[in-house]
Structure 1
């Protein structure tokens, strides 16, 4: 049966998407989180995409989960066979000891398990299947402890605690390895002494290793086929399973990832944006420039602005400045920045993205029908609960366009429109996002600029390339690896399959009409680190400062073109860029800035050249 194909998306072939897909094979906890967020919580929209398409990530997570379930089924058959062999051997041994006509039941067999039979277990007071089960649990626990020693495993731990955890993981690994060696030494000693005359304590561990080898081979073959850096951009990614569940999910997620809108919780509105950087804002009164004196032939240089050739041209007054007018002047500045970067070099600014984005308070479902247009509360469900012919889902393009049109100048507290500037640097490993909002109510201009930085994908996810380069491996190395990892693979796949079964039951019995929710987790941010290299930090600083400078230029042009004075605006820009204090009028006293600044007032301090008192500071 054909599955559900994935729609195209601008970020479906990015490096970040590839690494998150690989992460579903590398980290079982991340794989389970992907399915929990996207499948189990069907009432929860996805966070705005920042260089990642989550649908291929979900497809790979579902694929490896199903592969894990098949492996767990084979492992279960092998372990049942192992246990059954113990039962049969002990049953026969008890029957031989009791002679003809002796009655043996399961209670007698399980009692004999722990008596230390010399002819079956060489005196070990437990059956071989249980002995090897302890070996498997020990190796699995050691593997889990080692897995914690990754970029994401010890996040938030202090250095001494992380070091102690790494040391504990090493101790557990050594102990588990010694216990596995003890099993094989005990078995070989029993064979050499003639106490162990059956091969099943050897055959079943080899069968478990063979199943683990098959599982690992399929996993590595998938990485080579779909997720290597050479094949990912051209190879169609796996489909999702057929059925209404995944058909609805693909439609909803695709719609949410392409819409210029998201729902939010007031406590955490910017889900998925990363770590905030220093935000800045200013407020100023909008004051018109005074007209030239009557009869004067001198041009009003305050109403002129420089043209591209350096000459001064008069401004045109288009009426009161609005937020829409301000953003309309800022956007061309950013577009020209992108075009200039594309013409002059390979700077990532050539891929700068500029769009407008709406944030709506939560309270409606991802597929809930809404009445289009209306008021500041256009996102609210009609009070009568009915929907007319103009009903739209919250992510419908017409609904989003209505929000963008209505909310840009309203200055509301709930529904907010931002100018969003995004730069995906270092192959989408470092994402810089700058949000801009403008208010022009009450004769005041208020601008808010909030930068965010999303760090690189976890290092263990990026190690997929080193793994693929070592493939294909020779059979001897693969066999040794499978023999060592087989017991741990059996336990991990069993736990994963059990969790999958519980999720399937919970999803089947859950209420599909769950309460509406908002994006809670970004898979991209869940898989990222906060550590930037020195070069990455330099680039982030440069991108933010460059974008902010273009925003300032656009706002300056907006003020000039609408006939407003810009002197107060220039003061704010100077304060924010230089970190100093601009003093316009001052009579006596002194000003000092900086943590070690000092100033002394003098009665005969000279005035500056323009007649205003000088600024002093450290």
Structure 2
């Protein structure tokens, strides 16, 4: 095979789904994730959403609301079937069906929060709950599940009839008809659960890049949802972020190793010998130089597949979240549109750099997304020059990959409609009670959620009208909520370290070159930069001192003493 870029991509294999697709799948697979997502973005809609790099919040929220609505509709249909059994089929049939559903619900697990089993037999066997290889396929599972439901139904109905009549031999024709009516109701409930499973499987298949159907665009269901989607689109990508005292930086991920350096700005030996003062330098100059040098990493055409090609450098401002006035009067006031992007106005960036307000923190944000935006590195760089001192601050954050449990949609592959239908019928028969209990429970969940949202809106209006301060900061990040907490392979960890080291070295070289070009002595800066590099790479740096005895540094380092000698 010739070594061409096209063949290179072929050797790398198909591109898996990105973070947005997996989080959309999580809205269907994990009710806990869905409930917390809706609580943060819908019930407390007055809050400003946390940044979710590489993620479309509107898409994820739309899937969460759609999943909840579909289950609630199924629950309403099931309740309607159960309620209609009493006037149509009689009290005995209606009672028998309700008792049967309750029994199946207890056996099937009512109130289950996670629903990975909805993916079907092949995925559950491979990923979620490995089983014995003696397990049968889709068709036999359907027959076995349906047989279990019918057997339990017949036995329970017969037992009720025996208790009511005393004998099984002399069944009243009306009672026998009630038995069949109960089975008809059970069949309708089974079909309702199977339809929900079928629709969910087709929806989940669309979230894999190998899916047979494209993901439909988010179409808001009602005026309230349309307003919420528009608000999220406007606010999720702006440069002005909110912080609160307990959790100042929500949404950027896990904090890495930070460093800070401070040194005095002195003229270089050459400038001092000439009696010339160095040129003035401030934070605005340093930000501009750092941004230019880092952006050059994304412009190297020799490595078109490197994730650094997607590197971005923007301004970020963190501002207090406790305010007594509406956000419309202050949030976004320092920003402007540049095409499809919302960026900090240059005049505001310059003013923030020069004034250094303690409650308004201005950072240069360097962002690198890799592995289809599942691993996102964000570095906040801050520089100040006050009183002849230069202060440089480095705050790295890493958003780890989406939880592996949500990646199971990649295994669905291409499936035909009949295959989805057979799978849905089989699993609906096996777990009918649990499905019905969960679907009916969603009716109560939707009602409770809407009630909480309405109360929060009334409370917010009351607080603002009365002049009370409101905390607009987010409580959680959707992207962090769906993260798995660990890397999926060692290559991702190595890539993160490479990106951080690369950007750090470019920051050091940019600042050092700017100092030398303006006539400052850069020896102190270079010494601290080298020390930081050594420590971050697991080494030990000893500056202007002598160490007597052995020294060990780095992960797992140790010192062995043999005859007074260290090795």
Residue in 2 aligned with 1:323?
A: 283
| 1:594 pairs with 2:563 | no
- Secondary structure of the 1:568 match is helix
For 2:529, which of 560, 564, 573 is the aligned residue? 573
Structure 2 CA distance, aligned partners of 1:290 and 1:435?
33
Conservation of the 8 A alpha-carbon contact between 1:271 and 1:519:
yes
Give the match for residue 480 of structure 2. Answer: 525
Mark the CA change 1:90 to 1:294 in structure 2 (over 3 Å): closer, same or farther: closer
Q: In the superposition, relative to structure 1, how do residues 88 and 395 fare at CA in structure 2: closer, same or farther (>3 Å)?
A: farther
User: 1:494-521: per-residue Cα shift (whole Å, max 9, x none)?
Assistant: 1112111122233334315253421211
Q: Are the structure 2 counterparts of residues 438 and 396 from structure 1 closer, same or farther at C-alpha, using a change threshold of 3 Å?
A: same
**Normalized against structure 2, the TM-score is what?**
0.76
User: Shift of the alpha carbon at 1:63?
Assistant: 2.1
Give the secondary structure class of the aligned counterpart of 2:355.
coil
Q: Is the 8 A contact 2:260 2:391 kept in 1?
A: yes
How many angstroms does 1:146 deviate by? 7.7
Rate the CA distance shift 1:72–1:81 in 2: closer, same or farther, 3 A: same
Counterparts in 2 of 1:233 and 1:287: CA distance versus 1, 3 Å: farther
Query: Structure 1's 508 and 145: CA in aligned 2 closer, same or farther, altered over 3 A?
Result: closer
Q: Distance in 1 between matches of 2:188 and 2:146?
A: 19
* Alpha-carbon distance, 1:230 to partner: 4.8
Corresponding pairs, count? 489
Residue 504 to residue 220, structure 1, CA distance change in 2 (3 Å): same
Pairwise CA distance, 1:399 = 10
Q: Tell me the residue number matched to 2:258.
A: 279
Deviations along 1:264-300, whole A, 9 cap, x unmatched?
11221111111111111211111111337979xxxx9
Is 2:172 aligned against 1:203? no
Q: Distance in 2 between matches of 1:285 and 1:394?
A: 32
Matched position secondary structure for 1:327: helix
User: Retained in 1: the 8 A contact 2:72–2:442?
Assistant: yes
Structure 2: how far apart are the matches of 1:328 and 1:232? Answer: 47
**Structure 2 CA distance for partners of 1:235 and 1:530, relative to 1, 3 Å:** closer
Superposition deviation, residue 211 in structure 1: 0.4
1:410 paired with 2:410, answer no
| Residue 183 (1) aligns with residue 162 (2) | no
**Which of these residues, 24, 33, 37, is aligned with residue 40 of structure 2?**
37
How far apart, CA to CA, are the structure 2 residues paired with 1:144 and 1:369? 37
Measured in 2, the distance between the counterparts of 1:543 and 1:252 equals 33
Q: In the alignment, is residue 268 of structure 1 matched against residue 271 of structure 2?
A: no
Residue 382 of structure 2 aligns to a residue in which SS? strand
Render the CA deviation track for 1:433-462: whole Å, top value 9, x for unaligned: 111111211111111111111111112221
In 2, distance between residues paired with 1:84 and 1:179? 28
2:106 aligned residue: 137
User: Are 1:352 and 1:422, in contact at CA under 8 Å, matched by a contact in 2?
Assistant: yes
Gaps of 5+ in 1: 1-12, 92-112, 114-126, 151-175, 304-316, 372-378, 380-391, 600-616
Secondary structure, counterpart of 2:284 in structure 1: helix
CA contact (8 A) 2:267 2:278 kept: no
The answer to whether 1:338 aligns with 2:283 is no
Superposed, 1:500-515 pairs within 5 Å as 500-509=446-455, 510-511=457-458, 512-513=460-461, 515=470
Secondary structure of the 2:287 match is helix
Kindly indicate whether the alpha-carbon contact (under 8 Å) linking 1:220 and 1:468 is maintained by their aligned counterparts in 2: no
Match of 1:541 among 489, 497, 512: 497
Q: Residues 75, 477 of structure 1: CA spacing in aligned structure 2 closer, same or farther, 3 A cutoff?
A: same
Contact 1:419 1:436 in 2 (8 A): yes
SS at match of 1:205: helix
Per the alignment, in what secondary structure is the counterpart of residue 343 of structure 1? coil
Per-residue Cα deviation, 1:48-104 (whole angstroms, up to 9, x for no partner): 23101101112222222222221111011122234667863389xxxxxxxxxxxxx
For the pair 1:453 / 2:381, whether they are aligned, the reply is: no
Q: Report which structure shows greater RCO (CA 8 Å, sep ≥6).
A: 2
- Partner secondary structure for residue 199 of structure 1: helix
Corresponding residue to 1:57 among 49, 56, 60: 60
Q: Which shows bigger deviation, 424-433 or 228-237?
A: 228-237
| Contact 1:45 1:366 (8 Å CA) reproduced | no
Task: Tell me the CA shift for residue 367 of structure 1.
Answer: 5.1
State the Cα distance separating 1:540 from its structure 2 match: 1.0
Match of 1:109 in 2: none
Q: In the aligned structure 1, how far is the partner of 2:186 from the partner of 2:253?
A: 46
> 1:462-496: CA deviations, max 9, x gaps?
11222353453435443222212322121111111
- Which residue in the other structure is 2:208 paired with? 228
Tell which deviates more after alignment, 198-207 or 449-458: 198-207
**Partner residue, 2:31:** 28
By how many angstroms is 1:221 displaced? Answer: 2.7
Match of 1:498 among 444, 460, 463: 444
Contact 1:211–1:486 (Cα < 8 Å) also in 2: no
What residue is the counterpart of 1:478 in the other structure? 424
| Structure 1 residue matching 2:313: 3-state secondary structure | strand
Q: Residue 519 of structure 2: SS of its match in structure 1? A: coil
> Cα distance 1:140–1:90, how it changes in 2: closer, same or farther (>3 A)?
closer
Contact 2:212 2:414 in 1 (8 A): no
RMSD: 3.8
Aligned to 1:237: 217
Q: Whose helix fraction is larger, Structure 1's or Structure 2's?
A: 2
Give the drift of 1:331: 1.0
Name which of 551, 562, 568 aligns with 2:518. Answer: 562
Q: 400-409 vs 344-353, which deviates more?
A: 400-409
**3-state SS in 2 of match to 1:288:** coil
